[in-house]
Structure 1
Amino acid sequence: MKVYISNGKLNVNINGYEISDFKVFLEYYGTSENYVDIKNLTWNIQDDGKSAKAEADDGGAMQIFFEESKNGLLVWANYLAGKTTVNGVLRLKILGRLPIRATSAVYNHGEWFNGNRCIFSMNTPGITTALLKNQTIVANQFVGLKDEKTQKYVALGAVTFGNYFSTVTVSETGEFVLYAHKNEHLYDFYTKSLSDGDIFKTDKFIIAIEDKDALISYGKAIKDLNKCERRFKMPSGWCSWYYYLEDITEDRILENAKVAKEKGLPFDVIQIDEGWEKKHGDWDPNEKFPSGMKAIADKIKELGFTPGLWVAPFFFDKDSETFKNHQDWFIQDSDFVSHRKKYIDFSREGARNWLRDLIKKFTIEWGFRYLKVDLTLDFIALDGYQDKEFNSIKNYREMWKIIKETAPEDTFLLSCSSPIGPTAGLSDGVRTGKDIFENWDMLRQCGRQVLKRTYIHEYTYTDPDCIMVRTNKNEDEHCRRFCTRDEMEINSFVAFMSVSGGAMMSSDKLSLLGDKEIDKIKSLYPLNQSPAIALDLYEREIPSIFKYENTGEYEMYALINWIDIEDSFEINLTEQKYAMEYFSKDRLAKNNKFTFKLKPHESKILYFVKDEKLLDKLSNPIMPV
């Protein structure tokens, strides 16, 4: 890596790629965009050769730092405030130019919560687009780019998450801006100021340029910089949510656990979802669990499963005893925030102690060793914390730190409905798509999100949400989500779960499933341990052509037709092979080029082999055993 100045511009050369014209600006609120201008950003490279500094007349300065990593160029910046006070601080941004032109992009955009801009969560729309001439896109947290002419790929995005939510903008011509957002609250523009000695630090960003999809390196960088580790095998099991919603009872949970054992379903976890608690905030069992939560956890363990529990530590009903008796634990000094929702402030000692005791109750006292931590997005306040250094992201991470430090080491922690990046290094898994629910359109929306976020598997287990293999023939009066997917769409659901390479949770009433439905669930075992590669990630709105990895003598592909009309797909191999399709068991003549026409919502899982006898060894599991 070389940091140098040419024609007054600050540039970095890394692995033969020149990323040029770096600038740093502090943006603050006014009648139009205002920027702190430091001597027209006259950079001086520092003695370490890896950073540069531009000094202002009032003693302030901009600093930018570079670090070469195995995954790409790390970059971050500081603004050192001088004697001039800057009010209404909005964001610090790093500008530069890539050595490519972006012809297509994969990114996320669209979510604001409580004045927090640019949150990237499971619900954020996933977008694939071809960039028009001079077009600029705005992305939450990261963007993946492809240059069709040079066949180069770029990933730009935040890789540490200790301070602020981030956005990335990039133009078709390669200009980019990396933003750290300090203040987006619509009613408190002037609450954020910087004066003599104050420092505004961005988190770290990465710029990765590669010959293959650079988003994989983006995920690996997050893993390295956040000390992520895999403490468990990939989870699977049964969840109550998509059959019963909140209409769960002790008996209904145990009935499904018993059936799972009787039918030999290879589940690890039986997870009780929302509906067991007295109130949000008062986390004790209601009348539907008369034996108590320890008793049901013990019975689940006796059946050979890990007991799991849905919890929402940020969520408080206004009439909960916890809120009524401890209002000093909540946001105090922002009327706009406190009058709309009840935001707990984990910078307060009482709130932290309450959470520690709560997690001990769930895990040590009751015995749950799988926690689904949900509903944090709507309850992270922008400001108003007792600790003035706190903000949304710090409050959120403080919650997770307490949970991870308090729960026994054998407790799997799943993050759901939460900011995805800031959970890195704190949870064991993360939901990557919205609630999947009961129809094809919702599955398609999940595909649009989950299949563009498989890089997350590089640093934590991804959870694509539950699978449901039922039709209306497998439902009764207790069902609260009536499935409308037909047989072909259910097969595509199975294919989607297989290529996602994530956790696998079932959410049907197991006693109503026949052998055919049970076999569909069992077909996903052994679980695919890594996501299949989306070969058309930058070409289609929803990835549709996938190549599996680590499949031994079998070359495996999957095709999913997400659209409502017939579509054609091609698979080109490097040599001629025999082929078989999983669902139909149809065999295809030896060839190196295969064309498939898929009906609307149809899918195919395909095996290609040199030796046709290998096809005889395939049975119900999708992954070759």
Structure 2
Amino acid sequence: MPHPFTPVAVVPVDVRKARVHEEGWQSWSPSGAYALRDEPYRPTNANWATVCYRPGGTVPAGAFQGEGLLALDPGDGSPVRLWAAPEPCKEVPSFRLTVGDGVAEISADGPVKEFTGTDIQEVLGEWASSLAVEAPRPAPTVWCSWYEYFTAVTEDDIHENLRAMDTLDLPIDVVQIDDGYQKALGDWLTLSGRFRSRAGIADAIRARGRRAGIWTAPFLVDPASDLAAEHPDWLVRGTDGGPLHAGRNWGHDLCVLDTTHPEAAEYLASVFRTLVAEGYDYFKVDFLYAGALEGVRHTGADALTAYRDGIGLIREAIGADAYLLGCGAPILPSVGLFDAMRVSPDTAPHRRPEAGDFSQPGQDPAEFTGVGRQWQHGRFWVNDPDCLMARPAVETRERWAAHVEATGGLVASSDRLLSLDQWGVATTRRLLEGVDRVGVDRVGGDR
């Protein structure tokens, strides 16, 4: 049961100038600063509320809400104030702010620590630094199949782009195979009909002096998968006794792998050990929110403990030298677990998201939340602003490239490279060359 909200502070504000920073629950949850008269971005339907926001965290109209963090610039010259979770990896309370008669009232449904600073980004950064997370390693440069081919990617597409990297002389360290190589969510080692050999692709990538990367959504299971049919006891259960519903995507209902079940945990570890043995050492793990959903687990572990232990299981399987990129992940519970983290919703070839929901793919929501979370870069992980798309068909590609460049974070190209025009090739090369790659090997682990 959720805890009740209790008062934390009452702060006088200049309603014309004050701004409030909402920290969203996970990578895709809108996060950033608003004027007090703004309407914050909220989910537009129940499915996106589960997939992209904090489940059960419905916000009343007229209120601002941050998950584990809320910052307020009163706008009257007084210090910026930040309310934060004392132990964000263990408990992430919600903070709520309402305004009336020139004052902001802040409440929370859990423990609170308060900090002050001179501006919102500065106080967020100082709070992040106070957690003393080890500085992240430099990120490799990446090519990713997703934004050109989506789930229709083929093995031949990977080989074509691998050759094009050499032809165009692009400084790409990692070639990442994204969603589409596998038969189903959960059946990670069974190939779709468009692929012949994962190990063979990894060998071809490494033979050209690059590193092999691969995508998984390790906590998701398709109900139609072999895993779900053969091991229904490996799934997190809902309160009704059936499989926990983790939302719907790809036209499929989604279930959750229970990594507290010893056999399920061993299965997931064996997937990653197999990928390492095949030559992969860069891993994008996606849709991680599923591992932190409340449900009935084998051991009775709480959701955040199960989530962090599940990521720890993956890290142990891939080894300390492999590079681990999180996405769709609950932000504060992930601190200290990843080399890099997606800090925004997906980008897209278009600017505006469907139905105006700023958790959905689009350049505008990716920019809004990416800018709002810039304070995390270099303190928790390398920020991933999402992929560069520089082909002519992409709307406002110049503006999107400028955003990717300004973040100073992970740079990943996601075009069919032979489709790039002169501007696209030059921009892709310039952004890749601008990455700080000191300490990054082309083949093998980071030094």
**What is the TM-score of this pair, normalised by structure 1?**
0.58
Structure 1 partner of 2:71: 144
Structure 1 partner of 2:194: 288
Letter in 2 for 1:302: A
CA distance in 2, matches of 1:411, 1:520: 28
SS at match of 2:151: coil
Alignment of 1:147-546 (within 5 A): 147-150=74-77, 152-158=79-85, 160-172=87-99, 173-180=103-110, 202=111, 205-211=112-118, 213-222=119-128, 224-225=130-131, 227-230=133-136, 232-284=137-189, 285-290=191-196, 292-332=197-237, 334-335=239-240, 338=243, 340=245, 341-363=254-276, 365-378=277-290, 380-388=292-300, 390-441=301-352, 442-457=362-377, 458-472=379-393, 483=394, 485=395, 489-527=396-434
CA distance in 2, matches of 1:406, 1:506: 27
Q: What is the CA deviation profile of residues 172-219 of structure 1, one whole-angstrom value per residue up to 9, with x for unaligned ones?
A: 535422323xxxxxxxxxxxxxxxxxxxxx5xx4422112x2444434
Letter in 1 for 2:141: S
CA distance in 1, matches of 2:170, 2:93: 42
Structure 2 partner of 1:551: none
CA distance in 2, matches of 1:527, 1:144: 33
SS at match of 2:80: strand
Q: What is the CA deviation profile of residues 568-610 of structure 1, one whole-angstrom value per residue up to 9, with x for unaligned ones?
A: xxxxxxxxxxxxxxxxxxxxxxxxxxxxxxxxxxxxxxxxxxx
Q: What is the CA deviation profile of residues 265-323 of structure 1, one whole-angstrom value per residue up to 9, with x for unaligned ones?
A: 11121110000012211112233221x21221121111121111001111112232222
**What is the TM-score of this pair, normalised by structure 2?**
0.79
Letter in 2 for 1:459: F
Structure 1 partner of 2:49: none
Deviation at 1:171, TM superposition (A): 4.3
Distance 1:333 1:262, change over 3 A: closer
CA distance in 1, matches of 2:85, 2:331: 12
- Asked if 1:104 is matched to 2:15, the reply is no
Distance 1:295 1:447, change over 3 A: same
CA-based RMSD: 2.5
Structure 2 partner of 1:186: none
Which structure has more RCO (C-alpha within 8 Å, separation ≥ 6)?
Answer: 2
Letter in 2 for 1:338: P
The answer to whether the 8 A contact 1:274-1:311 is kept is: yes
Letter in 2 for 1:178: A
Judging by fraction of residues, say which structure has more helix.
2
Deviation at 1:440, TM superposition (A): 2.5
Deviation at 1:369, TM superposition (A): 1.0
CA distance in 1, matches of 2:415, 2:30: 27
CA distance in 2, matches of 1:371, 1:500: 21
Deviation at 1:435, TM superposition (A): 1.4
Highest CA radius of gyration, 1 or 2? 1
CA distance in 2, matches of 1:335, 1:159: 33
Distance 1:121 1:333, change over 3 A: closer
Distance 1:380 1:137, change over 3 A: closer
Letter in 2 for 1:107: H
Segments of 5+ residues of structure 2 without an aligned counterpart are 38-61, 246-253, 353-361, 437-447
SS at match of 2:298: coil
Segments of 5+ residues of structure 1 without an aligned counterpart are 1-88, 110-118, 181-201, 473-482, 530-625
CA distance in 1, matches of 2:326, 2:138: 16
CA distance in 2, matches of 1:129, 1:328: 45
SS at match of 1:155: strand
Distance 1:400 1:408, change over 3 A: same
The answer to whether the 8 A contact 2:98-2:105 is kept is: yes
Letter in 1 for 2:385: P
Letter in 1 for 2:193: E
CA distance in 2, matches of 1:370, 1:164: 30
Distance 1:411 1:339, change over 3 A: closer
CA distance in 2, matches of 1:276, 1:439: 25
The answer to whether the 8 A contact 1:108-1:120 is kept is: no
